[in-house]
């Protein structure tokens, strides 16, 4: 810590301004008449000192501003980031200078910069009071938050810190006490901001090292308050009064006032840097994934396409896709089969959960590779950690250390470089992580993140649900009669199921373990006027019979094989070979004569056999029989559709 030469007995409250500092001093002035108070002390005035670096002070101090100088106390000050406005403390009443024993309260004033570095007439802060003091203003970068000290009634001790916000009209809200986390029974004074995230101030009521000690408190956005304050270390705080601190943007250097040498003087300090040693390798946060569906592999030429809704507003096509998410979060990627003819969803196939989150450890968020001399942003993410960070440090390959949450950095050399992030927690424990960065030349393709494969994992065989698919014609909260006229136009057996989850009755046709194989049936039911959809259900019976036979259903009096039945025969024939032996049995319902029904059942069986021949089964291997009509009891007309069929049975394979 380096003492900076001042002017008078007391030099305090340094604030960074342009190429130097503005500070308060009670040195005697020849410019205006010097006034003494009842203690014989000279009032404080504001001075500017140019400082090129810690060991290079440019000339002597000069009066900061004629416009802001009075014959009483002026300062301390603070500035908005653009230095267009100054907030400062001074005596509220500037009259009757000869009466040194007159009560003179301090207030806050605001001035705007005009042309030629001249400050316009100061305006008093709206809440200045004649019965108490408002002093030591601190303002954030854009001038929208003002924090100050005051001994107004209703506080926790002598002087407390208060907050006021600038509204959209440029006025200020009624001051609000910062509460007992910040304030104590003693005095809280000399606040200042660091990067709008931290509030620094002095207090003699928190049991520090002695006198006024400097504390810092972090703004907790979710609670809209400043958190529990932490005392700065022994390089800053002494057994004497330490106050009026201001930090440079790097967070590592700054100025303060202290009476550790016997009188109030200004000091320049450089923070002792932590030692980056044995930094843990950074763990990657994977944003890019290869997503696929394993449980559905339909091979067909149907007008269906697979569409993934990635859960972040993006869609991609195919059973397998690659996608990079832009931020952390939990996403649901859902796969749908889309009917490209009608441009509507045929079936919602599956969902995949993708949770991009952080473990309980620090992360360096940033690219894995960067082109030489390009800038990249590196951000510290500690959201998964159980402990909070008091301070963050970035250490780069060239030894440059920065103290902030995120940094923009370029690399001037091709090769592998290292970025280190250091974390100091509130127990003063220091740890660090390191991230390797590949710096490449301008002609190299940038690699951002590796692809991680995600898919629907198959359950162990004993735990797998035996899912089947079917075409739902309609559902109802009440039970419908299968003899209802709405069902009579359907030429396939109708199954009634009670869905216990939704407490509805479902009426369906067709069953398959391949969702796409039901497409033609789905279309056929739509053409009949049903708002059909494909649904899945859990099988509760043995499907071994399905592998050995297939049923083909027909319209009344017809022998044409529908597109849906062709699809069923195609699927069945894939299980066969040229040596397979089949039995094909034709049936008809009892409507019409026995003779005509016999002929109809034969034509049906013959057409099916001919189609199987096209699928590669020799006719010599097919035994064909026409069984004619099937008799049913009167009143069971709804069952007729069950008997307009052909049974194809595998006898030998």
pLDDT digits (tens, 9 = 90+) for 259-280: 988 889 999 988 878 888 889 9
What residue has token string 């810092």?
A: 216
Q: Are residues 439 and 548 in the same domain?
A: no
Domain boundary among 509, 541, 573: 541
User: Per-residue DSSP letters for 501-556?
Assistant: TTTEEEEEEEEES-GGGGHHHHHHHHHTT---EEEEEE--S--GGGGTEEEEE--T
Domain assignment of residue 125, given as a range: 2-95+102-270
pLDDT value at residue 54? 63
* C-beta contacts of 81-88 below 8 A and 24+ residues apart: 81/141, 81/142, 83/17, 83/18, 83/113, 84/112, 84/113, 85/110, 85/111, 85/112, 85/113, 85/139, 85/143, 86/110, 86/111, 86/113, 86/119, 87/137, 87/138, 87/139, 87/146, 88/46, 88/122, 88/137
Output the pLDDT for position 336: 92
SS3 readout for 9-53? CCEEEEEEECCEEEEEECCCCCCCCCCCCCCCCCCCEEEEEEEEE
What does the pLDDT read at residue 38? 47
Two structure tokens written together for 166: 């600038």
Q: How far apart are CA 490 and CA 524, in angstroms?
A: 9
Residues 486 and 529 in one domain: yes
- Greatest CA separation for the chain: 135
Residues 643 and 561 in one domain: yes
The token pair at 420 is 């280190």
Are 555 and 563 a contacting pair, CB within 8 Å? Answer: no
| Rounded Cα distance, 486 and 483, in Å | 8
CA angle (253 as vertex; 258, 429 as ends), nearest 5: 95
CATH classification of the domain holding 149: 2.120.10.30
Residue 358 shares a structural domain with residue 221:
no
Distance of CA 520 to the CA centre of its chain: 43
Question: DSSP secondary-structure letter at 116?
Answer: G
Co-location of 628 and 562 in the same domain:
yes
CATH number assigned to the domain comprising residue 298: 2.60.40.10
3 state DSSP class of 606: helix
Residues 6+ apart with CB under 8 A from 333: 291, 308, 309, 310, 311, 323, 351, 352, 354, 454
Predicted local confidence at residue 383, as pLDDT: 78
Give 10-residue mean pLDDT values along the chain (653 residues).
71 92 81 50 87 72 90 92 94 68 81 89 93 95 95 94 92 95 95 92 88 92 88 88 91 90 89 85 85 69 89 92 88 92 89 86 86 90 79 81 83 90 85 90 67 54 66 92 86 89 90 87 93 85 67 93 91 87 93 92 94 91 92 71 91 85
Answer whether 338's CB lies under 8 Å from 305's CB: yes
Evaluate the CA torsion angle 21, 23, 25, 28 in order and state its sign.
positive
**Domain check: are 402 and 549 in the same one?**
no
420 and 558 share one domain: no
pLDDT attached to residue 252:
83
* Cα separation, 23 vs 45, whole angstroms: 8
Question: How many structural domains compose the chain?
Answer: 4
| Residue 619 phi, psi dihedral angles, 5° rounding | -60, -30
239 and 295 share one domain: no
Q: Which of 282, 249, 287, 312 has the alpha carbon at shortest distance from 381?
A: 282
Strand residue runs (E) in 411-461:
415-425, 430-440, 452-455
Pair (22, 139) in one structural domain:
yes
The Cα–Cα gap between 432 and 273 comes to: 13
* 500 and 559 inside one domain: no
Q: Which of 541, 569, 604 is the last residue of a domain?
A: 541
Domain boundary among 541, 563, 579: 541
Q: The domain that contains 520 carries what CATH number?
A: 3.30.70.1070
Peptide bond into 76 cis (omega under 30): yes
Q: Are residues 495 and 563 in the same domain?
A: no
Query: Looking at residue 299, what is its pLDDT?
Result: 58
Same domain (yes/no): 566, 511:
no
């Amino acid at each position: 810590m380096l003492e900076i030469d001042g002017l008078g007995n007391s030099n305090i409250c340094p604030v960074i301004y342009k190429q130097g500092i503005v500070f308060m001093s009670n040195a005697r002035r020849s410019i205006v008449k010097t006034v003494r108070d009842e203690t014989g002390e000279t009032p404080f005035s504001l001075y500017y000192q140019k400082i090129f670096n810690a060991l290079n002070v440019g000339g002597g101090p000069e009066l900061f501003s004629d416009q802001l100088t009075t014959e009483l106390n002026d300062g301390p000050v603070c500035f908005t980031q653009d230095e267009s406005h100054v907030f400062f403390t001074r005596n509220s009443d500037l009259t009757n200078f000869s009466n040194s024993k007159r009560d003179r309260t301090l207030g806050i004033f605001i001035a705007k910069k005009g042309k030629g570095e001249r400050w316009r007439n100061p305006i008093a802060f709206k809440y200045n009071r004649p019965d108490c003091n408002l002093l030591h203003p601190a303002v954030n970068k854009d001038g929208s938050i003002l924090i100050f000290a005051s001994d107004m009634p209703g506080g926790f001790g002598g002087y407390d810190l208060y907050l006021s916000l600038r509204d959209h009209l440029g006025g200020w809200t009624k001051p609000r006490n910062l509460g007992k986390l910040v304030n104590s029974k003693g005095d809280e004074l000399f606040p200042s901001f660091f990067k709008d995230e931290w509030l620094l101030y002095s207090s003699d009521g928190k049991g520090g090292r002695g006198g006024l000690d400097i504390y810092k408190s972090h703004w907790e956005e979710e609670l809209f308050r400043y958190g529990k304050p932490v005392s700065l270390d022994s390089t800053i705080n002494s057994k004497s009064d330490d106050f009026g601190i201001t930090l440079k943007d790097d967070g590592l250097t700054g100025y303060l006032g202290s009476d550790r040498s016997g009188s109030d003087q200004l000091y320049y300090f450089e923070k002792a840097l932590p030692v980056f040693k044995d930094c843990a390798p950074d763990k990657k946060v994977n944003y890019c994934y290869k997503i696929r569906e394993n449980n559905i592999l339909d091979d067909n030429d149907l007008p269906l396409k697979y569409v993934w809704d990635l859960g972040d507003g993006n869609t991609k096509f195919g059973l397998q896709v690659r996608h990079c998410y832009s931020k952390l979060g939990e996403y649901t990627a859902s796969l749908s089969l889309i009917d490209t003819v009608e441009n509507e969803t045929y079936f919602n196939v599956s969902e995949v959960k993708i949770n991009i989150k952080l473990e309980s450890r620090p992360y360096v968020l940033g690219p894995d590779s960067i082109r030489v001399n390009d800038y990249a942003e590196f951000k510290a993410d500690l959201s998964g950690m159980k402990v909070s960070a008091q301070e963050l440090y970035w250490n780069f390959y060239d030894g440059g250390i920065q103290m902030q949450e995120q940094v923009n950095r370029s690399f001037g050399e091709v090769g592998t470089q290292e970025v280190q992030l250091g974390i100091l927690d509130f127990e003063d424990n220091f740890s660090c992580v390191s991230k390797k960065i590949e710096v490449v030349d301008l002609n190299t393709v940038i690699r951002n993140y590796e692809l991680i494969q995600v898919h629907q994992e198959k359950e162990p065989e004993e735990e797998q649900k035996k899912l089947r698919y079917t075409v739902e014609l309609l559902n109802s909260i009440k039970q419908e009669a299968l003899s209802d006229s709405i069902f009579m136009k359907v030429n396939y057996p109708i199954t009634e199921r009670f869905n216990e989850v939704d407490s509805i009755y479902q009426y369906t046709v067709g069953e398959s373990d391949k969702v796409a194989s039901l497409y033609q049936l789905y279309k056929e039911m739509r053409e009949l006027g049903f708002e059909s959809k494909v649904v899945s259900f859990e099988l509760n019976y043995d499907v071994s019979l399905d592998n050995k036979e297939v049923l083909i259903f027909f319209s009344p009096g017809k022998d044409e094989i529908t597109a849906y039945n062709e699809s069923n025969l195609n699927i069945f024939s894939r299980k066969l070979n040229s040596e397979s032996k089949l039995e094909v049995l034709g049936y008809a319902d009892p409507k019409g004569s026995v003779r005509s029904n016999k002929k109809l059942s034969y034509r049906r069986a013959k057409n099916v056999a001919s189609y199987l021949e096209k699928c590669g089964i020799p006719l010599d291997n097919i035994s064909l029989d026409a069984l004619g009509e099937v008799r049913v009891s009167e009143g069971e007309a709804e069952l007729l559709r069950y008997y307009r069929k052909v049974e194809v049975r595998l006898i030998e394979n």
